[in-house]
Chain A
Amino acid sequence: MDFRFSDDQALFAETVRGILANECPPAAVRTAWDNDTGTIDGLWSTLAATGVVGKTAPEDQAGLGMGDVDLVRIMEELGWAACPEVVLEHTAVAVPLIAEGGTVAQRDRWLAPAAAGDARLSCSLGSDLVNGAAQADALVLRSGDEMHLVPVDAVDLTPQASVDETRRLATVAWEPSEETRMDADAAAIERAERRAAVAAAAQCVGIAQRLLDFTVEYVQERRQFGSPVGVNQAVKHHLADVGKAIEFARPMVYRAGWSLTAGAPDAAEASSMAKALASDAVDLACRSSLQCHGAIAYTVEYDLQLWLKRGWAMAAAWGTASHHRDLVGRSLGV
């Protein structure tokens, strides 16, 4: 039993953090709010060149063949930076599902380009909202008990505006066919749902941490009644509670990532516990950071809103806390 990440895993996360500091500062995230694509120019290519995009693709398909436990720290960093690229949909969900449950033809057609970042994938495992669909080359979509891999030019997209304007959501009109059908069985689909939950939970933890970092800094600078507002116990306790929520969601997310990779018996339960705790943590971080900032954060000009809105989006995406608590209850037999 050793809970520490390997040096390689830690180093990779540091590298991603460095890249995002350069290429995904708040000003860049704002460009993704305003432009046609919802993405930052050049960032996807950089993430592909670094190995982030292809991290989960099989090694014989130009990927790194890594598992969920290798992704969780990266997902945290993507959340911390409010990175708008569809790494979760592409790397954490679509690519492993194609590798596991794609037909030979689908694997040959999509995995190597996806690993290299030349093809961009998005997906839904049942939600009627697909993020980044218009920018994707193909979509992994669910039809009843089946998964399908559908080129984006074969679907009709209706944009659905998210509170977070970097999330270019759409509903998708499409026809399943023998040609698009994947071989993924129920177990493979469930694993994909687990991966999505853990990756989203890791992002929630990263977003919550950034909201906390922002707010800790602000309440030391902002002065009222002659003192920093952070000297007040009411403010301190708000932020201590946010820190606590993050502190106890994080190891659950790590455990879930490890359990998925190792195929441990608690993988399903742990991933739902992780998303439930992480959704609650980011939700609390959103409310408390807004409250501790006051009116300044109730504006679009102030950068906190980039993380608030990503936080609200990711708390709900890939299963709300209530949804995942229900799944935990089922696994407990209640």
Chain B
Amino acid sequence: MDLTFSATELAFRDEIRTWLRDNTQGEDWAPMDTEEGFEQHRGWERTLFDAGWSVPNWPAAYGGRECSLIEWLVYEEEYYLGGAPGRVNTNGITLLGPTLFSFGTQEQQDRFFPKMASGEEIWAQGWSEPDSGSDLASLKTTAVRDGDHFVVNGQKTWCSRGAWADWIFCIVRTDPDSERHRGLSYLLVPADAPGLTRRPVSRLDGEPAFAELFFDDCRVAADNLLGEEGQGWGVAMATASSERGLNLRAPGRFLAAATRLVALYRSVLDAGTVPDNGLREQVIDAYTDATAYRWQVYRKASELMHGGSMGSEASYMKVFWSELDVELHATALRLLGERGELSHHAPLADGGSWMTGYLFSLSGPIYAGTNEIQRNIIAERVLGLPRK
């Protein structure tokens, strides 16, 4: 065990920190989940890409710098501590990306990765359906082979940034006689495919960040099948592991939020506006949990770099970070007292809002499989309790 950062890792940290300091100047952009903000953030993706910081852990051929997993975690820490803009193509880079590396053909990788890395093509996830949420394997959207195309019919929902995304990675039923996990396929769908209509849906925070997707004899080239036909569930589970584990939510995000929470506590204490009543302990708890998450992720990363794998244990990660995030923001709202209800539109909120962050945090225990499903997975597949 050696938990010192190597000279290379320290130099890497220094490089990204300096670059971010020199290239982010408190951008006053619209939120990422508005049409205007979406395009502003797409531009930021290009800036990152041109400097080699969009996908640092990817191969150089696709715009990366082939950094190690540990260096990627360092990058994430600096990224969030530096207050850099949100990543509008997260679903492409951190969810579809690892899956495409594992299951994509060379042609698919060469076709999709460069434009994913540069933000030229932004991706959304089309999995949930009106009647298939936690029970994803009950999904009904069909894709029937017709020559060198699939003809897709059905409906997807809760598709984050789906209203403006350029591509959508979907799970569809390619065997109409199949049930449950069998007969599903993983299909990459261009948003301008004929027969696809999109309707924005306002999320709880009021931003039109969700979309409903309607597939009406929508034709998609068969080349866009990721993995083998009928094997979509296995491919999807690889994506789910990325979504629940350390890819989507590196600890840097929560360390930065916990650091802001400590600063908020100090300022509230100085102002004497809110009685403490145990708030100090909640602040310390949030900071402690963010630190515990940090070391757990570095520990898992060490294992992954030496031949380990992240299976169902990703569910522990997902429950931990999502509930930590909710508690952290709830504590901030208590500290703010009556100002806790302010949205980021209020002048007093000073450009940021813990309420907006709280609303976002509340989606964490729901998306990527609800935490109830995650606890079932932990109990059944990690601890070994019987399903029935």
Contacts and interface: CB of A to CB of B under 8 A. Distances in A.
Q: Do A and B come from one complex?
A: yes
Interface of A: 1-6, 9, 69, 212, 216, 219-220, 227-228, 230-231, 233, 235-237, 239-241, 243-244, 247-249, 251-252, 254-255, 258-259, 262, 264, 270, 273, 276-277, 322, 325-326, 328-329, 332-334
A230 B386 contact: yes
B1 A9 contact: yes
Interface centre among B283, B320, B372, B375, by most chain A C-beta atoms within 10 angstroms, is: B375
Interface centre among A235, A244, A249, A259, by most chain B C-beta atoms within 10 angstroms, is: A244
Contacts of B9: 1
The 7 closest A-B pairs by CB, nearest first: A236-B379, A3-B302, A240-B375, A240-B378, A3-B299, A251-B295, A230-B385
B284 interface: yes
Nearest to B259: A332
Contacts of A262: 3-4
A240 B295 contact: no
B388 interface: yes
B319 A240 contact: yes
Q: Is the interface of B mostly helix, strand, loop or mixed?
A: helix
A33 B243 CA distance: 49
Contact of B319 (A244, A254, A259): A244
Nearest to B285: A325
B387 to A, nearest CB: 7
A231 B379 CA distance: 9
A239 B319 CA distance: 13
Nearest to A232: B385
23 contacts: A3-B3, A4-B306, A228-B386, A231-B385, A231-B386, A231-B387, A237-B379, A243-B383, A244-B316, A248-B316, A248-B320, A249-B292, A251-B298, A252-B296, A254-B299, A259-B3, A262-B3, A270-B291, A273-B291, A326-B284, A328-B287, A328-B288, A329-B284
B70 A334 contact: no
B297 to A, nearest CB: 9
B289 interface: yes
A275 B372 CA distance: 28
Interface stretch (B82-90, B148-156, B262-270, B337-345): B262-270
Interface centre among A264, A328, A332, A333, by most chain B C-beta atoms within 10 angstroms, is: A332
B2 A2 contact: yes
Given A2-B1, A273-B291, A244 B284 contact: no
Interface centre among A240, A251, A254, A273, by most chain B C-beta atoms within 10 angstroms, is: A240
A220 B384 CA distance: 9
Contact of A334 (B3, B280, B316): B280
A236 B380 contact: yes
Contact of A248 (B284, B293, B372, B374): B293
B379 A220 contact: no
A243 B299 contact: no
A236 B302 contact: no
Contact of A1 (B280, B292, B302, B376): B302
A1 B385 contact: no
A292 to B, nearest CB: 10
B156 to A, nearest CB: 28
Contacts of B265: 334
A254 B288 contact: no
Given A1-B9, A236-B375, 7 more contacts: A216-B385, A239-B379, A244-B316, A252-B291, A252-B292, A254-B295, A258-B3
B64 to A, nearest CB: 20
Given A1-B2, A231-B387, A240-B383, A325 B288 contact: yes
Contact of A3 (B1, B6, B269): B1
B382 A243 contact: yes
B71 to A, nearest CB: 9
A227 to B, nearest CB: 7
Interface size class for chain B? 35 or more
Contact of A237 (B1, B285, B375): B375
B1 A325 contact: no
B288 A216 contact: no
A277 B265 CA distance: 22
Nearest to A9: B1
Contact of A69 (B1, B287, B316): B1
B120 interface: no
B5 interface: yes
Contacts of B70: 1
B3 A239 contact: no
Interface centre among B1, B269, B301, by most chain A C-beta atoms within 10 angstroms, is: B1
B146 interface: no
Contacts of B269: 334
B15 interface: no
Contacts of A1: 2-6, 9, 70, 298, 302
B192 interface: no
Nearest to A273: B288
Interface centre among B5, B284, B378, B382, by most chain A C-beta atoms within 10 angstroms, is: B284
B303 interface: yes
Interface string B30-52: 00000000000000000000000
Contact of A2 (B287, B302, B388): B302
Contacts of A243: 316, 378, 382-383
Given A252-B291, A254-B295, A273-B292, A236 B385 contact: yes
Interface string B367-379: 0000010111011
B14 interface: no
B256 to A, nearest CB: 15
A9 B70 CA distance: 23
B288 A276 contact: yes
B223 interface: no
B135 interface: no
Interface centre among A1, A4, A220, A333, by most chain B C-beta atoms within 10 angstroms, is: A1
B207 interface: no
Given A255-B295, A334-B280, A237 B4 contact: no
